[in-house]
Amino acid sequence: MAEELKPDNGVPEMRRLIGKVAERHGIRIDFSDPAFYVLSLNEFALEESTRTIAESIRQAARDFENAAENVQGRAGTFLAQQIRESINAARLQFDREVSEVTVKTSEKLSRLHQIHAKFAFHCAVAGLISGALLLVVGILIGLSLR
């Protein structure tokens, strides 16, 4: 592991850390210092913790997506049921109103038919009376001209 931390392996990040420690604490350390091994252990532990946390977040996101799909399915079912009930209620109301209009229209047509029947009867009676009067007038005219 000591070979890994040598400056000739191209570890600029380690050089930067050595510079920061020297700047902040006034202590010069080199690549063979045991502090780097502790730092590496911390880094490995942090990477493992990060992986575990990331997987937990991914699993929570999948669980959330599954729950959202379930809620969406239930909401869709509930909405469909509500729409079905609304359509049935509207259909019943429409049928009731059509029945009422049909009854009212039938009553009005019946009254109109009665009025037409009376008018036709009155026209027929007026025609018969007019015809009888014309016959009588014709007979009277014919008798007077004779």
How many CB atoms lie under 10 A from the CB of residue 11?
A: 16
C-alpha 143/C-alpha 146 separation (Å) is 5
3-state secondary structure 16-75: HHHHHHHHHHCCCCCCCCHHHHHHHHHHHHHHHHHHHHHHHHHHHHHHHHHHHHHHHHHH
Q: Are 11 and 3 in contact (CB under 8 A)?
A: no
pLDDT tens per residue across span 60-104: 999 999 999 999 999 999 999 999 999 999 999 999 999 999 999
pLDDT tens per residue across span 123-139: 999 999 999 999 999 99
Residue boundaries of the structural domains of the chain: 33-145
Q: Find the helix or strand (DSSP H, E) in which 2 lies.
A: none
| Residue 10 binned pLDDT confidence (cut-offs 50, 70, 90) | very low
Q: For tokens 């392996």, what's the residue?
A: 9
C-alpha 113/C-alpha 75 separation (Å) is 56
pLDDT tens per residue across span 27-57: 888 877 887 778 778 888 989 999 999 999 9
